[in-house]
Structure 1
């Protein structure tokens, strides 16, 4: 953490007080939260940056879509539009956001919608659906969800738990008490009992909810036409271009397979421009290595003009969530039990 960020600590303390008072007003129902008869599952985090909310949303979609009429509702971060919009296969990321567009393309049979006002969005969706999954809505206190899943990046629990701008947290840690399930994401392959004890000591001060440990699984690379890359992804020179909050796990994954990785990083939810494409291609063209590729993430692909790379070997790597503690069936049980116990 830089010295400048520590200098800004007084602002973090002010922000802490503001968030604490706001939550207190909701807890004592001075500010009102609205609940709905429909099943609502909120996915969120307390810190900024990528904790794996999108893979968790996709996991829940796969788990529930064959039994229930599913809708996802997101803010649509990075879009240039306002209000409620249904996401179509023909939509653009600039209209609906990259993650909602990704959901729709992977699961065209479900309803995907965006609205910064989650309660208003639910009102439009509830009549025709059984379950609404709300991505990144844990801080949306106007909504009282039926079930809340709170995600923590493994590494974030080994850093100072301080609010912005000094730290990386956007909500106070005691808000953990509102979660029904707690997921520790991006875990290493092996988690020592001491590290688990440290994490659970932090969380158990506020919540006795079940804790699950998960990591990111990487699927086979696909080309821009959605076809599987035929070769092994080893011993390549890779230009990795991405606009995600934390590309480190992806860089580590590629490097452990014996690849040389040159990261071209953009801000999270970055809207790519023609200059960006020229920069990426110039870097690629300068590499004097026969086995070279351009790789991006599935989220970034929603914002990239594929035609600009028609003559380049551009691939993307889909990801999925996998439990690190072999408790997938237990996790599934908690989710399905919530829905089955509350059927209308």
Structure 2
């Protein structure tokens, strides 16, 4: 399910591969108001592509192709017809989409909610039996503490080994960048331990909320469901809160939420209120071991083609 860190993982892979291969990302496009196959262009928004694909396009669109399509088995040939030079597809959230053969399966598992302790929906959050983990070429534990107790590390690897055998297990954590203004016309600064309002609409906001609480004095949280398409009414509610407080508190949000706010840029709330988003990066332990394995596979496939 959502919240395991798929988006920062895809961005990590884009940064890793974009200089050596002609890349395309392919996502379902959750939350978009369009249907069918679509390749991102400068006229697209989060409403037409979905928040995650549009985020990829905003950050990497000059170097890669960003595609969406409910039926990935149909979307891939459509993308190749549009751009025949594509060499590598990064399938976002496609572990259970088995109609498409793939060369490298990466299974992400949240450090605080590992798959081997979870259950199938609706009891738990797994989309399939734990046995499905055996299809993975490697497992990456996401949202790990930066310093993991060695005993705990060994226990996690031992639990995963019973499903994957000797396939590698990697640990990763999220690194937070400096705040960025969403709307450049507002020059208000975000002060350390200053008062803020937090706005999120992501699957698991636990780490983000914890990070914000450690750096700022959070006065109010506006929490929405994952992929929520923000409305004028949502912004009206936030503006009403600001008026009640008689102070223009800065709003802090995630990068994924930011791309969905852009369509509401003309709302009066944003004329007076500074909005900041916090970019994140995926930090992988034993990175060289992972990258050498991946590049070796890609070169082997390239030589066969």
2:240 aligns with: 282
Structure 2 counterpart of 1:94, from 31, 47, 52: 47
Matches of 1:77 and 1:142 in 2, distance apart? Answer: 19
Deviation, 1:233, is 4.6
Deviation, 1:201, is 2.1
Deviation, 1:289, is 6.7
Within 5 Å, give how 1:1-344 maps onto structure 2. 48-109=1-62, 110-126=64-80, 127-157=84-114, 160-207=117-164, 208-225=166-183, 231=189, 233-260=191-218, 262-287=220-245, 292-304=249-261, 305-308=264-267, 309-323=270-284, 325=285, 327-343=286-302, 344=305
CA 1:261–1:55 in 2, change beyond 3 Å: closer, same or farther? farther
Deviation, 1:171, is 1.6
Matches of 2:53 and 2:225 in 1, distance apart? Answer: 18
Q: Is the 8 A contact 1:49 1:245 kept in 2?
A: yes
Deviation, 1:268, is 0.2
Provide the secondary structure at the position in 1 that maps to 2:54: helix
Matches of 1:315 and 1:218 in 2, distance apart? Answer: 13
CA 1:261–1:246 in 2, change beyond 3 Å: closer, same or farther? farther
CA 1:285–1:194 in 2, change beyond 3 Å: closer, same or farther? farther
Deviation, 1:140, is 0.2
CA 1:220–1:235 in 2, change beyond 3 Å: closer, same or farther? same
CA 1:62–1:163 in 2, change beyond 3 Å: closer, same or farther? same
Matches of 1:253 and 1:175 in 2, distance apart? Answer: 33
Matches of 2:185 and 2:171 in 1, distance apart? Answer: 31
Matches of 1:215 and 1:228 in 2, distance apart? Answer: 32
List runs of 5+ in structure 2 lacking aligned partners: none
Moved more, 293-302 or 119-128: 119-128
CA 1:273–1:131 in 2, change beyond 3 Å: closer, same or farther? same
CA 1:189–1:226 in 2, change beyond 3 Å: closer, same or farther? farther
List runs of 5+ in structure 1 lacking aligned partners: 1-47
TM-score under structure 2 length normalisation: 0.90
Moved more, 254-263 or 117-126: 254-263
Provide the secondary structure at the position in 1 that maps to 2:132: helix
Matches of 1:300 and 1:77 in 2, distance apart? Answer: 13
Aligned pairs, number: 294
TM-score under structure 1 length normalisation: 0.80
Deviation, 1:144, is 1.6
Matches of 2:185 and 2:179 in 1, distance apart? Answer: 8
Moved more, 218-227 or 177-186: 218-227
Matches of 2:128 and 2:79 in 1, distance apart? Answer: 28
